[in-house]
Chains A and B, each alone.
Chain A
Amino acid sequence: MNAILKTEHLNLWYGQNHALKDINLEMPQNQVTALIGPSGCGKSTFLKTLDRMNDLVPSVRIEGKVMYRDQNIFDPQVDVTWLRRHVGMVFQKPNPFPMSIYDNIAYGPRTHGIRGKKQLDEIVEKSLQGAAIWDEVKDRLKKSALSLSGGQQQRICIARAMAVEPDVLLMDEATSALDPISTSKIEDLIAELKKTYTIVIVTHNMQQATRVSDRCAFFLHGELVEADDTEKLFSVPKDKRTEDYITGRFG
């Protein structure tokens, strides 16, 4: 098993609040790792730590390591823009920029210095196809991305993240704001994407976790209770608390 992302004794505090407690987790290449657990247990916090989006929070303090391909991302010489280019994020609420669909997708590549029209056209088409939304928007690339439905917007955001060709895609409850049809489209997409990317998702939906993930990690009160192959975790959980959670006895 080749872990492309790995945390070692990761601890995180928001002020006095110890939100992540000694987390050791490996996220293997070309697999989908799902993070589950009750509200407030630290799933989003953990995910944001992986591409250092927590840097935006003023009171945050982090100890331990996050290894991305043998590089500790907290090393002072690591450039966060470099990291975020390789570890992309799709947010819970679709957040396309108020620009055209085309400009949304081209935003990342332009940020990283790609200017040629032809090259951008290719990237935009490829990314939109990769996110399974090309056919729906190919005739209105110049229209505002805000004119799309929520499900379409989320796939635009996935395409936008893919356009910078990251290694890893982080998705924080990427389908929780969507209807069942859009959700299943995105779930199919995730299954497709893991051929190219390593994926980490947060989900509140057990069925979704079993449908899309290869590995599953159960968080509780900032602790990682158990992490295992999804099938094993859901059939023979080792920890009583995991069992209680997945059988719906609390949470």
Chain B
Amino acid sequence: MEHLSWNRRIYDRGLRALLYLCAGITVALLVFMIGYVFYRGLGGITWEFLTTQRSLIKGTDGILPNILNTLYIIFLSMIIVLPLGVGAAIYLTEYATNHKLLSIIEFATETLTGIPSIIFGLVGMLFFQQIMGLKYGILGGGLTLVIMILPTIVRTTQESLKTVPQSYREGALGLGAGKWRMVRTVVLPNAVDGIVTGCILAVGRIVGESAALLFTAGMGGVLHNFADALTTSSGTLSVALYVAVNERGDVQTALAIAAVLMVITLLINLLAMVAGSRLKNK
């Protein structure tokens, strides 16, 4: 008895140390990653870097166009994918009754979330440019991203809809609410958290995407307004980073871009969280 509990205690301690180690390594890696990028990159961020475009004539080397392009493409993709994905998820979880078809669709979306992004880029290029006749630009790139992240949004929204207790639905229907009123008043408000998480994941993928955009949005680094950028080759920050390293071997600029990217991601996630809690409390 004594012996057993002694063993047990050692086992417990050992296990706890192991888990502690896992957590420690995870944190250390993250801190190292972020620290390294900021340490090497922040130095390259100057006012000029953030507010000008790269121009050999003026001798400036800035990334303002890429920052804007990134924001443009986030805006365009999200404004399309959010209603589309959330709407599809609502239909699939709350309305659809054909369970066989439903599980096929769920399997398909699941599979689509795992497809390498370069394939979306390839198909996006072939479809939007060669068949639909779009030019390189935010529009073609944004639509490609919509297709790429749609499954993510649908899946995360569906998952969060499924966590809403059935008893809320029964309660609403039992009081004579129609289906849509039930969805709007007791289902969606309780699924907001999951939808926000889905959006954060989606924005993360957009911001980090380069492969799917090289063929569709292009690499352009010239300043344009939103309307012009739609159909003009426009590189996002990630693409600019790729170009900086790959075509100019300019690691310093790449690291500075990386630091900017991380700040932007952080800001957008914070924004999404604030928006989410606002929506929820309403």
Contacts and interface: CB of A to CB of B under 8 A. Distances in A.
A111 interface: yes
Nearest to A94: B167
Interface stretch (B104-112, B145-153, B178-186, B215-223): B178-186
Contacts of B122: none
Contact of A97 (B172, B173, B176, B178): B172
21 contacts: A51-B174, A53-B170, A53-B173, A53-B174, A56-B170, A56-B173, A84-B174, A85-B175, A88-B174, A88-B175, A91-B174, A95-B170, A96-B171, A97-B168, A97-B186, A107-B175, A111-B176, A111-B177, A160-B171, A164-B175, A164-B176
A83 to B, nearest CB: 8
- Pairs A-B, 5 closest by C-beta atoms: A85-B176, A95-B167, A108-B175, A89-B174, A84-B176
Interface in A87-137: 88-89, 91, 93, 95-98, 107-108, 111-112
Contacts of B186: 97
Most chain-A CB neighbours within 10 Å: which of B171, B181, B186? B171
A134 B220 CA distance: 67
A248 B176 CA distance: 39
A97 B174 contact: no
A160 B165 CA distance: 18
A89 B174 CA distance: 6
B97 A82 contact: no
Contacts of B97: 58
B190 interface: yes
A107 B178 CA distance: 12
A58 B174 contact: no
B248 interface: no
A32 to B, nearest CB: 19
Contact of B171 (A56, A58, A81, A95): A95
B99 interface: yes
A157 interface: yes
Contacts of A85: 175-176
Interface residues of B, number: 20
Most chain-A CB neighbours within 10 Å: which of B169, B175, B177, B190? B175
Contacts of A95: 165, 167-168, 170-171
B176 A112 contact: yes
Contacts of B167: 91, 93, 95
B197 to A, nearest CB: 19
Nearest to B181: A111
A161 B175 contact: yes
Contacts of B174: 51, 53, 84, 88-89, 91, 161
A84 B173 contact: yes
Given A58-B99, A95-B165, A98-B190, A81 B176 contact: yes
A78 B89 CA distance: 29
A179 to B, nearest CB: 20
Interface string B78-106: 00000000000000000001010000000
Contacts of B99: 58
A160 B175 contact: yes
A91 B176 contact: no
A164 to B, nearest CB: 6
B37 to A, nearest CB: 41
Interface in B188-206: 189-190
Most chain-A CB neighbours within 10 Å: which of B99, B176, B177, B189? B176
A82 B177 CA distance: 9
Interface in A41-59: 51, 53, 56, 58
Interface string A148-169: 0000000001001100100000
A6 B177 CA distance: 24
B173 A82 contact: no
A81 B178 contact: yes
Given A111-B177, A112-B176, 13 more contacts: A53-B173, A56-B170, A58-B97, A84-B174, A88-B174, A91-B174, A95-B168, A95-B171, A97-B186, A108-B175, A108-B176, A111-B181, A160-B171
